[in-house]
Amino acid sequence: MSYVKSQVVEADIIVLNNLSTFYFSETPAKLEKNSPTWMTDILPIQMERRESMNTGLRLKYHRLKKRVSLEETASGILPSRELKKIESGLKEPSLRDLEALCKKLEISLAPKENPIGQVLVKNFKTSLLHPQNKGKIMEQYADIHDHPLLFVNEDIELEYNIQQIRYFIITGDLDSAEEKLKEMERFKEFMNQEQFYLFHKYTGNYHYLLGDHESALKTYLMTEKIAPVSIANTDLADLYYSIGITANQCWEISMATKYTELALKIYQQEFVPKRIVECHLNIAITHQRSGNFKTAMDHHRNALAIGSKLEIDILRFTTEFNLGYSYLIFQNYELSIEHIENCLSFIPPEYIADSLLSYCILIKCNIELENIEKAIQWKQKGLKLIEDKNLSMSSPTNHSFKEAYIEFLCLTHFLNDEYEEFEKLVTGHLIPLLEIDNNFFEIGYYYGHLGNVYYKLKKYEKSAFILNKAREAYKNTTIIR
């Protein structure tokens, strides 16, 4: 059930405290299928890391930053094996050697006090806690980006570089985020505990944005193991929530429920209503997938009751959409129509795919109620949106958007009795996309209608085969993985 908005627009719900259009990020062609605990097997769990760099680490940091070899740095000063011992903290350099090494690396003998740099990076970090103010964040970044005081102290420079990862994620510049992640991978040994933790958390966010939920989950679980003891309750809740929604995407239902409930408990204690709503939505999804429909609807209603009081349009859209989609699944088409029509009042204009998905649900509900005239009216609204935005099959887009667009075209062909085109799109395009998301309900729905089309065309063997595939898909909607 990949259409639930608490997951689809999760790109920056995850610890970024806002909903936005990162929904349109691309999905990698291949996902790793390792155990979620694989990282603990190949990476050391360092629960306590250095508080500040010693002399050796500082020398090594600047050597790696300049991409100079150990031998080249040591040349003319001391044997390279001795420099290796110094960098490893096994011996202290003589003052004469230290002066020569620092001169070659063009650094001061000791870290400089840098209160202005500390303030700059602290203010930048604080601004990133409010990603809805993207314009202001981008202005601040432009002002400080090349400020020399961000680069004269190793810890401040590390902190700034790590926060840049988050900045690129918030602004949607995933190419720069990837480049910065690769760059900072070289400097993990120099990070203090909080920096090491944030680096992994932002790495998880990056994977989630790409739709690589398996890698995101592995990274978040690793992040939990290295969380600083001093981590704030709300930060811990954000991490639990990230694990919960990512586990749900991976159909790790028990894990999703466990971590989202942990997050919900903290958010309730700290009174963070927006997050409380999002937790209820994710828990509702886990119970739907477990077949606990009554509990699922209770959480959906809780989310709607709280969300409707917050006057946050995107949250109102999310809660109305989720509840409407759930009513579609439970075949209560009248209530589904009511909530989906409500959600359209709050949908941001740039959420084109979400508009098309909403139209698809309204069309499906009216088809089931045999209100064909009303279904056609919603079809016309969708066609106008496609025309206004100049969309086509070849439009540069991503997996999620393409799925919404193709589903709408399938329903259009179905309503027009264009059965050959309906068959081609369903089997050749829509079903493969739905299978990527394990979207068993929609797979069953479209196989069911395709089977009925075959029956109408007197292709009885094909009809029986496809209807059986529909039954298998519906069975999978409540299989816990």
Residues 184 and 224 in one domain: no
Residues 166 and 61 in one domain: no
Q: Report the amino acid identity of residue 101.
A: L
**CB neighbour list of residue 377: distance below 8 Å, 6 or more residues apart:** none
Residues 373, 375, 381, 382: is their CA dihedral positive or negative? negative
Residues 361 and 443 in one domain: yes
Asked whether residue 32 is assigned to any structural domain, the reply reads no
Number of H helices, E strands in the chain: 25, 0
Report pLDDT digits (tens) over 272-330: 999 999 999 999 999 988 888 899 999 999 999 999 999 889 899 999 999 999 999 98
Report pLDDT digits (tens) over 6-38: 333 333 334 333 322 222 233 333 223 333 333
Asked whether residue 342 is assigned to any structural domain, the reply reads no
Q: Report the amino acid identity of residue 353.
A: A
Residues 302 and 206 in one domain: yes
Q: Do you know the residue count of the chain? A: 481
Range of the domain at 89: 55-105
| Per-residue pLDDT, 146 | 87
Percent of the chain at pLDDT above 90? 71
Residues 204 and 323 in one domain: yes
| Per-residue pLDDT, 50 | 61
Number of Cβ within a 10 Å radius of residue 290: 17
Residues 370 and 459 in one domain: yes
Full-model pTM: 0.80
Residues 237 and 262 in one domain: yes
CATH number, domain at 73?
A: 1.10.260.40
Q: What mean pLDDT comes out for the span 220-249? A: 94
Using the predicted structure, report yes or no on whether residue 466 has a pLDDT greater than 60: yes
Asked whether residue 343 is assigned to any structural domain, the reply reads no
Which of 191, 207, 242 represents a domain boundary (last residue)?
191
Residues 286 and 386 in one domain: no
Which of 191, 226, 256 represents a domain boundary (last residue)?
191
Of 1 and 231, the structure prediction assigns the larger pLDDT to 231
Cα separation, 126 vs 298, in Å, equals 36
Output phi, psi for 377, to 5 deg: -65, -40
Integer angstrom CA distances of residue 206 from 12, 25, 125, 242, 369: 10, 10, 17, 12, 42
**Per-residue 3-state assignment (H helix, E strand, C coil) for 203-259:** HHHHHHHCCCHHHHHHHHHHHHHCCCCCCCHHHHHHHHHHHHHHHHHCCCHHHHHHH
Report pLDDT digits (tens) over 60-98: 999 999 999 999 999 999 999 999 999 999 999 999 999
**CB neighbour list of residue 41: distance below 8 Å, 6 or more residues apart:** none
Residues 363 and 234 in one domain: no
* CB neighbour class for 67 (10 Å; exposed up to 12, middle 13-18, buried from 19): exposed
pLDDT band at 439 (very low <50, low <70, confident <90, very high): confident
Number of Cβ within a 10 Å radius of residue 197: 23
Report pLDDT digits (tens) over 103-156: 999 999 988 888 999 999 999 999 998 887 888 999 999 999 889 999 888 999
Residues 202 and 153 in one domain: no
Question: Most confidently modeled of 114-123, 360-369, 434-443?
Answer: 360-369
What single-letter DSSP state applies at residue 427?
I
Asked whether residue 341 is assigned to any structural domain, the reply reads no
Structure tokens at 265: 């408990």
Q: Where are the alpha helices (DSSP H) in 66-153?
A: 70-74, 80-87, 95-105, 115-127, 134-144
What single-letter DSSP state applies at residue 50?
-
**422 close to 410: Cβ distance less than 8 angstroms:** yes
**CB neighbour list of residue 419: distance below 8 Å, 6 or more residues apart:** 413, 453, 456, 457
Asked whether residue 304 is assigned to any structural domain, the reply reads yes
| Per-residue pLDDT, 53 | 84
| Per-residue pLDDT, 46 | 45
Name the domain count of the chain. 4
Of 164 and 398, the structure prediction assigns the larger pLDDT to 164
Task: Using alpha carbons, select from 219, 228, 261 the residue that is nearest to residue 244.
Answer: 261
Task: Using alpha carbons, select from 108, 117, 126 the residue that is nearest to residue 158.
Answer: 117
Using the predicted structure, report yes or no on whether residue 480 has a pLDDT greater than 50: no
Residues 323 and 220 in one domain: yes
| Per-residue pLDDT, 113 | 85
**Helix (H) / strand (E) containing 300:** helix 293-307
Report pLDDT digits (tens) over 157-187: 999 999 999 999 999 899 999 999 999 999 9
Cα separation, 363 vs 154, in Å, equals 58
Residues 274 and 234 in one domain: yes
What single-letter DSSP state applies at residue 112?
P
Structure tokens at 5: 């908005």
CATH number, domain at 472?
A: 1.25.40.10
Task: Using alpha carbons, select from 213, 181, 439 the residue that is nearest to residue 329.
Answer: 439
Of 23 and 390, the structure prediction assigns the larger pLDDT to 390
Asked whether residue 241 is assigned to any structural domain, the reply reads yes
**289 close to 1: Cβ distance less than 8 angstroms:** yes
**394 close to 423: Cβ distance less than 8 angstroms:** no
